[in-house]
Structure 1
Amino acid sequence: MTPTKPSVSVLRRDLLASFVVFLVAIPLSLGIAVASEAPLAAGLIAAIAGGIVAGLAGGSPLQVSGPAAGLTVIVAELVQTYGWRATCTITLLGGLLQLALGAGRVARTALAVSPAVVHGMLAGVGAVIVLAQVHVVLGGSPQRSAVANLRELPGQLLHPQSHPALLGGLTILVLLGWSRLPRGEGRLGPALRLVPGPLPAIALATLTAWSLDWNASRVDLPRSLLDGWHAPVLPHGSLHGIVGAVMAVGLVAAVESLLCSVAVDRMRPAGVPHADLDRELLGQGAANAVSGLLGGLPVAGVIVRSTANVEAGARTRASTVLHGVWVLVLALSCGPVVEQVPLSALAALLVVLGVRLMDTARVRDLRHHREAPAYFATLVGVVLLGLGEGVLLGIGVMAMMALRRLTRLSVRAEELVPVPGDAPAPPRCHVVVEGTLTFLGVPKVTRLLQDVPPGASVDLDLNVDFMDHAAFEAIHEWRVAHERQGGRVDIDEVHETWYERAVTGEMSSPRKPPPQTRWWAPWGNRRRRSEAELDGPEVSPSALLLAGVREYHGRTARLVRPIMAELAMEQKPEHLFITCVDSRVVPNIITASGPGDLFINRNVGNLVPRHGSRTADDSVAATVEYATNVLDIRTITVCGHSNCGAMAALLAGGTEVEHLHGLSRWLKHGNHSLARYLAAEPSAEPSAEPPLTRLCKINVMQQLDNLLTYPWLRERVEAGEIELVGLYLDLQSANVQILDRAAGTFVPVPEEAPDGGGARTSLDAHGPATGGAP
């Protein structure tokens, strides 16, 4: 990709964002220097090196580097052990270590960290920031740990200093109000979009404190950048201690920077390139080498300043570099204007940024994937233990969860019934084992198998993706013992023949099927393979059909043969499934059902002709009658889908299918759906559904009402004997939604079935269907 020249508007955004980050970086850099027991100038030197060197050489355009709070404990210990000047040398050597790691291209391993851990880290950092900076907002001083800050917070709340608290409150009000100002109308709209919220908030607080001469602590700068500065010296001590110190600084700073880079990459606006982690590690190494050489603190990517950079509207690395330039200019000139900025206003800015880092929407997303425990473990670990310890704790919890998932095993006995017949016969047991069968699951499997009665006929289904030797021995020994006692064991392996290959001694790796040859893949995805089988460039539809039959015989028939044999003389379906003839809708796939489960009626538009319709058609009514009166089916489902051609024809007034006389007559049964659609008020929300989608969903609701026009069926529904269900398949996402009759909307299918069946038709909730002909 050819790099494009930044526009004037982008440069203006970067210029404003760099000044906001500069205002945030000054107190943080000085505060971290104090917490690290280093000279104040060391914090400014690290901010300059992180901004300019890492900004130019790094691979994450919007990440801001500088002295990091997560390294304060390490640096303070090094200063006490080796002295400040030797600590600078350790920082320089840590930078060289990072350069070596970056040259070895090992930074990509940061992507292996789960998003749950990354977001937990951000939330933990946000909590630590809030707990510390609230004290500053109230006119006090933060403690050395989040726990101490939390412990001292009640006393600080009871005895705040009025002026700092008012300035902090004013800053927060401006920040919250600025995001709610109208941006798209009037002459001020474009101007407001160019100004990030932190800038007017800090400016107003500073102007208020200066004009009213309020008593509030302000930014305190050193007179000169070189105050207290000394050239680095070699550390004195044991070699392994010095090597450990270098590795601690280099690796902790590297991990923190890479995690921050991954987090910032997730927040980047559209148009900003992805982060190059290897280049970022090289940039961090160069910045640490320069900072250590000049007598500065260790440098790392910092999430607070990076978030401020993104929130302030930065779009290129120019913002990061310029913020370092502003720190350099300030350090050389000691600008008196910046010294008027109240610390409580900057602390209030950090409080707002910290709260935004604790994004509750992330928790909802992680709960769907069952990764919330790792998120909360990381958050609590960062708050109570520290950044590195919290991340390690989160990674450990995530590893345990992954191990549990990889070894998850389901063992159940599906049926235990006697074989029918006049003479007494041993019972028959059907046992299903699903998941990964390792030694960890052996106790669970053997416990169930030991409950099988002696002499029983057992159908054992091994639906496992792996079986180790311990599991094979356990099952094989049980089988031999059970058959010795007169029982019978039939083992059916659904996927891979782990047991069979272990018995025969053929333990080579199982052959994987060719890609995209699953039974549910469309023929078009397998056309090349079929052409190769037929030795010809052209494959006729009939030849493709026969190729599919041959694949069924070779792969599937042997698996379903026992099931089909049981169903050969009688069917006992559970559901009547009315859906469209559209080839993209495959009921057995979207319901994960098999032979004998669904009694299916398919027609154009999944329509149900109303009782007494002038356009007579008994095909659907005959299906419903047979399903409910002969097969005793208790559930009827109407399933619609997106981009339905029948609904599109209804929207077009039937003009496109006028030449298809049979189809035109059939589509008259959809007139009630069209009338219901026209009577409904379309949503004015920007995210409102397209007209065709709305009609497709309304059509499902109407067909459920059409079923209730049959008096005998309505009576059974009212008596609770039959349940009506509405489904909607979105073809693009392949997701299925269920109709909430009370709300009149389609909602995601719950992960677990609610008590009593959440999809049951309620006549009271929706009202009875009225008669009439289309």
Structure 2
Amino acid sequence: MRSAGVLSKSALATINCPKPRRICVLRRRWPVQRKERAVIRGYVSQGLFGRDLLGSIVVFLVALPLCMGSAIASGMPPAAGLITGIVGGIVVGAIAGSPLQVSGPAAGLAVLVFELVREHGVAALGPVVLLAGLIQVLAGIGRVGVWFRMISPAVVAGMLSGIGILIVASQLHVLIDAMPKARGLENFAALPGALASAVGGEAGSVAALLVGVCTIAIMLGWEKLRPASLKFVPGALLAVVLVTATVQWLGTGVKKVEVPSNLFAGIALPTWDSLSAVAQPSLLVAALTFALIASAETLLSAAAVDRMHSGARTHYDRELTAQGIGNMLCGLLGALPMTGVIVRSAANVQAGSATRMATILHGGWLLVFAMLLPWLMRMTPVACLAGILVYTGIKMVNIKQINSLAQYGRGTALIYLATTIAIVATDLLTGVLIGFALSLLRLALQSSRLKVGLDKHDQPGTALLQLDGAATFLKVPALARTLERVPPNTRLLLEVERLHHVDQACLELLADWGRNAGTRGCELVVDWNALHRRVEGARKAA
């Protein structure tokens, strides 16, 4: 007799059979639970579970050091990064709009968290992240997820490069067991003195520097020399294992990661006072900044993940809503903010994962590891994680992007450079706003291209003014200079057939010149009805 939970091939064929009578008979014989088991068995028999299981392990191995490293770079305990990784895997992974994208703490948000904690304290982080998540949820429900993608790729590339430089500047101090400064330029300015003090000072600083340098060397060497059969082994994990084992064997005195024996001890629920403090203008701006940066990075990462595989495409509004729910949970737990991260997502796709189960399982591995093996994580040197972040930051600064962006115009490459420099020189929000403003200015200049031609006409004493393109306020100076060149006693014919658009500024300039033309013996001849039809409001009214 066949087992209750096993369906034969004939039974599976009956499920797929389009005949209503046989389906009804089957429904009477087997409960719904048994049909669900059949679906699960089909999932396993197709090999999807094995692919997702392997992918989840690979992503877990990549995410573990990055979760702790991002927390340290943010000025927070490693447990805060682990909690975010767990929530991003189990909760967000189950409801995300991008099935193969992995969410968790990101180096890009570490800069924002560090500044927030430094200025307002750790107690402000939870409410700010909670509010940022609420903004994301409302944006997703309002179906504005796709609008986050209208941010220029040059601005996003410049943002990532600027973040990479800031991470390198701060983590070079952590690499020698020193405290980083608040700003990027301050970190660069203080770095020579910190290195000199480390080399000529305590032995622990020199040992930490060697630990960090060895970590970077192992990751770089593994990327260049690893065999194809071991491509699924992440360089960060290999570096952590080898360096940690060496430090433990030699008994080197360097700072180690502090992880609580009970992961739940790292949870810090917000208080009523901290929740009410989020109404401060500075914290409201911080929450909006978190939501904007995290959403843009998430959705652009999701678009990149879609290009890596041929499976289900991203539902952007659902992805944005899922990220908001995840950040609200992280805010309630006092953890780091999350975003979709391209490094872990790319590892997930490259490992052959087929469904969202890989992301969910990776969050489960993080939970099991943090709950059962915290003593193992406490062996990890802080300088080792700093070395991983330095390597990650350097990879984020991709100079080759300048040439690829320049293919779309030199202005695009200049926007990338300006955004990067502005972020390093000021702060993340200011730099992104500068890049966004430059993108809008470039768009305005491109959309207002206007060719103004002043030519002689066949009729004596007559000139021809030709306008080709869009006559906007940006072209008022050029049009005014052309009108000034019209000789006295000239009959000026204005052609508008190739004029696509005219705004109020140019229209008033032409009307004003026509009214005053008689003082110089001139006359403006134009089909005003045809000209007014080129005004946007007039076109709509018509």
TM-score (normalised: structure 1): 0.54
Q: Verify the 8 A CA contact 1:172 1:349 in the aligned structure 2.
A: yes
Question: Is it true that 1:171 corresponds to 2:215 in the alignment?
Answer: yes
Q: Compared with structure 1, are the counterparts of its residues 209 and 195 closer, same or farther at alpha carbon in structure 2 (3 Å cutoff)?
A: same
Q: Distance in 1 between matches of 2:525 and 2:268?
A: 81
d(CA) in 2 for partners of 1:119 and 1:397? 14
1:704-737 deviation digits (Å, cap 9, x = unpaired):
xxxxxxxxxxxxxxxxxxxxxxxxxxxxxxxxxx
Say whether the 8 Å CA contact 2:503–2:535 is kept in structure 1. Answer: no
Aligned to 1:381: 422
Q: Does 1:328 align with 2:367?
A: yes
- The 3 A distance-change label for structure 1 pair 254 and 446 is closer
Does the Cα contact within 8 Å between 1:51 and 1:322 map onto a contact in 2?
Answer: yes
Between stretches 127-136 and 2-11, larger displacement belongs to: 2-11
Note the C-alpha offset of 1:250.
4.9
Could you tell me how far apart the structure 2 residues matched to 1:236 and 1:173 are? Answer: 43
Question: Match of 1:564?
Answer: none
Shift of 1:234: 1.9
Q: Which residue of 2 aligns with 1:391?
A: 432
Of 507, 511, 518, which aligns to 1:472? 507
Question: 3-state SS of the aligned residue for 1:164?
Answer: helix
Q: What are the superposed Cα offsets for residues 13-69 of structure 1, whole Å, 9 maximum, x if unpaired?
A: 4312221211221232255353xxxx7654443333233222222224323223742
Letter in 1 for 2:346: V
Residues 238 and 222 of structure 1: CA distance in aligned 2, closer, same or farther (over 3 Å): closer
1:134-153 matches, within 5 Å, as 134-153=172-191
Deviation per CA, 1:211-231: give whole Å up to 9, x if none: 333333332222322436555
- The correspondence of residues 123-522 of structure 1 with structure 2, limited to 5 A, is 123-158=161-196, 159-160=198-199, 161-181=205-225, 183=227, 189=228, 191-227=229-265, 229=267, 231-235=269-273, 242=279, 247-248=284-285, 250-268=287-305, 269-271=308-310, 273-293=312-332, 295-301=333-339, 303=341, 306-310=342-346, 313=350, 315=353, 317-318=356-357, 320-368=359-407, 369=409, 370-413=411-454, 431-456=465-490, 460-462=494-496, 463-476=498-511, 478=513, 500-502=530-532, 509=539
Give the alignment partner of residue 64 of structure 2, picking from 19, 22, 25.
22
Alignment match, 2:138: 100
Q: Could you say which structure has the greater relative contact order, defined with CA pairs below 8 angstroms and 6 or more residues apart?
A: 2
What residue number does 1:753 align with?
none
Partners of 1:272 and 1:385 in 2: CA distance: 41
Counterpart-to-counterpart distance in 1, 2:536 and 2:134: 52
| Compared CA separation, residues 265 and 503, structure 1 to 2 (3 A) | closer
Amino acid in the other structure paired with 2:503: D
Structure with greater strand percent: 1
Q: Report 1:510-549 matches (<5 A).
A: none
Structure 1 residues 358, 318: CA separation in 2 closer, same or farther (over 3 Å shift)?
farther
Q: Could you say if the C-alpha distance between residues 78 and 465 of structure 1 is closer, same or farther in structure 2, counting changes exceeding 3 Å?
A: same
Cα distance, 1:466 vs structure 2: 0.8
Deviations 1:86-113 (A, max 9, x none): 8646654554454333222222220121
Instruction: Note closer, same or farther for the CA distance 1:359–1:7 as it changes in structure 2 (3 Å cut).
Output: farther
- In the TM superposition, 1:567-586 aligns within 5 A as none
Matches within 5 A, 1:30-45: 30-32=72-74, 34=76, 41-45=79-83
RMSD of aligned Cα (Å) = 3.9
Query: Structure 1 stretch 311-320 or stretch 68-77: which is displaced more?
Result: 311-320
Q: 1:427 deviation in Å?
A: 7.0
Quote the offset at 1:255 in angstroms: 1.8
- SS of the equivalent of 1:220 reads coil
How far, CA to CA, are the matches of 1:507 and 1:54 in structure 2? Answer: 45
Letter paired with 1:444:
A
- Counterparts of 1:10-89 in structure 2 under 5 Å? 11-32=53-74, 34=76, 41-60=79-98, 61-66=100-105, 68-69=109-110, 70-75=112-117, 77-79=119-121, 84=123, 88=126
* Partner residue, 2:23: none
> Structure 1, residues 333-362: CA drift from partner, whole Å, max 9, x if none?
343333333333322222222122122232
- Please tell me whether the aligned partners of residues 224 and 334 of structure 1 are also in contact (alpha carbons under 8 angstroms): no
Between the aligned partners of 1:20 and 1:149, the Cα distance in structure 2 is 28
The AA in structure 1 aligned to 2:271 is V
In terms of fraction of residues, the more helix-rich structure is: 2
Partner Cα separation in structure 2 for residue 334 and residue 225 of structure 1: 10
Q: State the secondary structure of the residue aligned to 2:501.
A: strand
Q: 1:755-770 maps to which residues of 2 (within 5 A)?
A: none
Residue identity (%): 28
Q: 1:231 to 1:395 in 2, by over 3 A?
A: closer
Partner secondary structure for residue 336 of structure 1: helix
What CA distance in whole angstroms lies between the structure 2 residues aligned with 1:277 and 1:398? 23
**1:452-475 CA distance string (max 9 Å, x none):** 222457665543211234423433
In 2, Cα distance between equivalents of 1:62 and 1:504: 46
Q: Which entry has the higher C-alpha Rg, 1 or 2? A: 1
8 Å contact from structure 1 (residues 33, 297) kept in 2: no
Name the CA shift for 1:334/1:498 in 2 (closer, same or farther; >3 Å).
farther
Counterpart amino acid of 2:309? A
Q: Secondary structure at the match of 2:178?
A: coil
Q: Give the deviation of 1:124 after TM superposition.
A: 1.1
Q: Distance in 2 between matches of 1:101 and 1:224?
A: 35
Residue ranges of structure 2 left out of the alignment (5+ in a row): 1-41, 200-204
Q: Aligned AA for 1:270?
A: H
Q: Aligned equivalents of 1:11 and 1:170: distance in 2?
A: 31
Give how far 1:11 is off. 3.7
Aligned pair count reads 481
Q: 1:345 to 1:499 in 2, by over 3 A?
A: farther
Distance 1:291 1:467, change over 3 A: closer
SS in structure 1 of the partner of residue 436 of structure 2? helix
Q: TM-score, normalised by structure 2?
A: 0.75
Residue deviations 1:170-202 (CA, integer Å, cap 9, x gap): 33233223333375xxxxx3x223323333233
Q: Is the 8 A contact 2:445 2:474 kept in 1?
A: no
Q: Which runs of 5+ in 1 are unaligned?
A: 184-188, 420-424, 492-496, 513-774
Q: Distance in 2 between matches of 1:192 and 1:384?
A: 41
Q: Distance in 2 between matches of 1:138 and 1:322?
A: 35
How far apart are residue 150 of structure 1 and its match? 0.8
* Matched position secondary structure for 1:59: coil
Q: Quick one: which amino acid aligns to residue 475 of structure 2?
A: G
Contact persistence 1:52–1:321 (CA under 8 A):
yes
- Which amino acid is the alignment partner of residue 263 of structure 1? L
